């Protein structure tokens, strides 16, 4: 049993697993931010542009509800296409934001790589420096022999 827990600890503490967990948590928080952006900012503007229409309430009734006075005997069957439109808009905004973020990261990588390539290589030592280095090495060897 102790071996099982040790293996699990090694698995859980691997860099990739922790990186993935952090990515999932940040992704969930980012999803909430984008959903709020869509629900609270974009869709109300779209609603105003479409005459006050609320997309989440749009549906196609396939079968009406069966009622007995105020009591619902059988609820209506609907296709909630407005909620689907809202989900598609959420997805498109998340995909666009991720695209922009990845594009920015790739651009920064290319800039860094270009800077590294543009940096001048260290100059070759002159003949004098090579001779001085050889003399230094010979003196060290002689000192070590004594």
Residue with tokens 């749009």: 58
- Rounded to two decimals, the pTM is 0.52
pLDDT at 77: 93
pLDDT at 54: 72
Q: Tell me the torsion sign for CA atoms 66, 69, 72, 76.
A: positive
Give the C-alpha distances (Å, rounded to integers) separating 56 from 53, 78, 79, 80, 142.
Answer: 9, 13, 11, 8, 88
| Residue-wise pLDDT tens digits, 78-131 | 999 988 988 887 788 878 877 888 899 899 999 988 888 877 777 888 888 888
Pairwise CA distance, residues 61 & 76, whole Å: 7
Q: Give a three-class secondary structure readout of 76-131.
A: CEEECHHHHHHHHHHHHHHHHHHHHHHHHHHHHHHHHHHHHHHCCCCCCCCHHHHH
DSSP conformation class of 64 = P
Q: How many CB atoms lie within 10 A of CB 34?
A: 21
| Residue-wise pLDDT tens digits, 7-41 | 887 777 776 777 788 888 888 888 888 778 877 88
């Amino acid at each position: 049993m102790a071996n099982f827990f040790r293996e699990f600890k090694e698995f859980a503490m691997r860099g990739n697993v922790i990186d993935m967990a952090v990515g999932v948590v940040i992704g969930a928080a980012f999803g909430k931010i984008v959903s709020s952006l869509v629900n609270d900012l974009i869709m109300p503007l779209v609603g105003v542009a479409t005459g006050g229409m609320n997309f989440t309430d749009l549906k196609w009734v396939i079968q009406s509800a069966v009622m007995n006075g105020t009591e619902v005997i059988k609820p209506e069957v609907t296709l909630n296409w407005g909620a689907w439109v809202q989900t598609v808009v959420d997805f498109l905004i998340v995909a666009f934001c991720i695209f922009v973020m990845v594009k920015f990261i790739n651009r920064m990588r290319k800039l860094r790589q270009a800077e590294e390539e543009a940096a001048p290589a260290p100059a070759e030592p002159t003949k004098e420096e090579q001779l001085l280095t050889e003399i230094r090495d010979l003196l060290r060897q002689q000192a070590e022999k004594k």
